[in-house]
């Protein structure tokens, strides 16, 4: 197991950014930048043992500074959307940053994805790890409370583990996730429509035309949102089905079976290479996003050119817009409580 680092440039206000590389005995590598905690590169083997990078991103820091897709970034304080940028906690209302029309998205324009995290490399019994820490002050993007956050990336023998923790001095909202775009083909710039996706969920959150949850759960059986049996992403994506029309493709939050501990959230296989990815989580939901808004002709890593649906996101998280819907499990964090959630990306071949 190995861990190394090198400079990755400086932000436009002069803050240095480092790029850390974790390696394991199988030859897999993960590159993680302190800017946004971005997963810049992650290699995985195909059925013949050939390693290839399976995440979208950029060759240099400038790409991430200009990026509007959240490639590989850690997002928070609250992932996904908060309707009307209005947060209500214990009867008190807070106005959040409006960065998605009239709504709040992924923690605001100045959310965790846009901050330089402090890094500390460590060795664990599982493999090399990188501890990232960030201090979010009271009022940051409108959120109450001083929040201390940590994210630990660990490269295991067959994948990558991400452990989140947080603590606050005032009641606030926390719902952290990672926003990596995966393409398991090993052929950068190709679309992901041939990837076969399985999501073991019977229900998803019903949303309106602006992708804000209505507060209702929708059964997926018999609809293009049903991935329980494993279906190619492109098989039904262009159907005239209102949730797909509203999202310009898949951008839906699936509710997992309610049981505690680390459990499967989704799996995806790219048939040509045989690469497979299983995503496990302690969170109650997973957002599936089919890369509908990646700009056409976007320059990516190694000369690749990205476009719509060049990659897919599987983002474990809490219920979207939970503070706006009393029946949803809350994402509030109070003083003295510990926030802990885990995402595990485990690769296999088929």
Q: Detail the residues annotated as belonging to a binding site for beta-D-galactose.
A: 80-81, 179-181, 251
Which of 148, 146, 140, 147 shows the shortest CA–CA distance to 95?
A: 140
**Residue 176: partners with Cβ closer than 8 Å, 6 or more residues away:** 74, 75, 76, 77, 79, 112, 149, 151, 164, 166, 317, 339, 341
How does DSSP assign 9-57, residue by residue? EE-TTS-EEEEEEEE-TTS-EEEEESBTT-EEEEEEE-TTS-EEE-B--
The total number of residues written for the chain in this structure:
350
Task: Pick the closest to residue 277 from 300, 306, 311 (CA basis).
Answer: 311
∠ Cα 210 72 138 (to 5°): 70
So which residues are the catalytic ones?
Answer: 179, 315
Residues making up the annotated binding site are 80-81, 179-181, 251
**β-strand 172-173 against 332-333: which pairing, if any?**
antiparallel
In angstroms, the Cα distances linking 256 to 203, 252, 261, 342 are 8, 13, 12, 15
**CA–CA dist 233, 238 (Å, integer):** 10
> Which two three-digit tokens encode residue 212?
């804000």
- Measured CA to CA, the distance from residue 222 to residue 309 in angstroms comes to 24
d(CA 89, CA 173): 8
Distance CA 213, CA 280 (A): 24
The sign one gets for the Cα dihedral 225, 226, 230, 234 is negative
Count Cα atoms within 13 angstroms, Cβ side, for 98.
8
């Amino acid at each position: 197991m190995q861990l190394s680092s090198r400079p990755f440039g400086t932000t436009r206000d002069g803050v240095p950014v480092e790029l850390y590389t974790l390696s394991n005995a199988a030859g897999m590598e993960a590159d993680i930048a302190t800017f946004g905690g971005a997963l810049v590169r992650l290699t995985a083997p195909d059925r013949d043992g050939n390693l290839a990078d399976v995440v979208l991103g950029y060759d240099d820091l400038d790409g991430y500074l200009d990026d509007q897709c959240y490639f590989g970034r850690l997002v928070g304080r609250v992932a996904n959307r908060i309707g009307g940028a209005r947060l209500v906690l214990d009867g008190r209302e807070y106005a959040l940053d409006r960065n998605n029309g009239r709504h709040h998205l992924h923690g605001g324009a100045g959310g965790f994805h846009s901050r330089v995290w402090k890094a500390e490399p460590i060795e664990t019994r599982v493999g090399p790890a990188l501890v990232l820490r960030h201090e979010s002050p009271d009022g940051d993007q409108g959120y109450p409370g001083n929040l201390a956050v940590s994210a630990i990336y660990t490269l295991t023998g067959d994948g990558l583990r991400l452990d989140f923790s947080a603590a606050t001095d005032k009641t606030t909202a926390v719902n952290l996730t990672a926003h990596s775009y995966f393409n398991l083909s090993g052929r950068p710039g190709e679309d992901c429509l041939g990837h076969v996706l399985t999501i073991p969920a019977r229900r998803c959150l019903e949303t309106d035309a602006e992708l804000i949850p209505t507060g209702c759960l929708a059964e997926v059986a018999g609809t293009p949102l049903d991935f329980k049996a494993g279906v190619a992403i492109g098989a039904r994506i262009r159907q005239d089905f209102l949730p797909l029309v509203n999202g310009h493709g898949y951008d839906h939050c699936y509710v997992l079976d309610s049981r505690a501990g680390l459990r499967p959230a989704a799996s995806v296989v790219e048939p040509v290479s045989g690469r497979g990815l299983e995503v496990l989580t302690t969170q109650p939901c997973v957002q599936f996003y089919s890369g509908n808004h990646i700009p056409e002709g976007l320059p990516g890593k190694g000369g690749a050119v990205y476009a719509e649906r060049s990659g897919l996101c599987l983002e474990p998280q809490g219920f979207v817009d939970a503070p706006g819907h009393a029946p949803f499990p809350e994402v509030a964090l109070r003083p003295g409580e510990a926030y802990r959630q885990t995402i595990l990306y485990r690769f296999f071949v088929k």
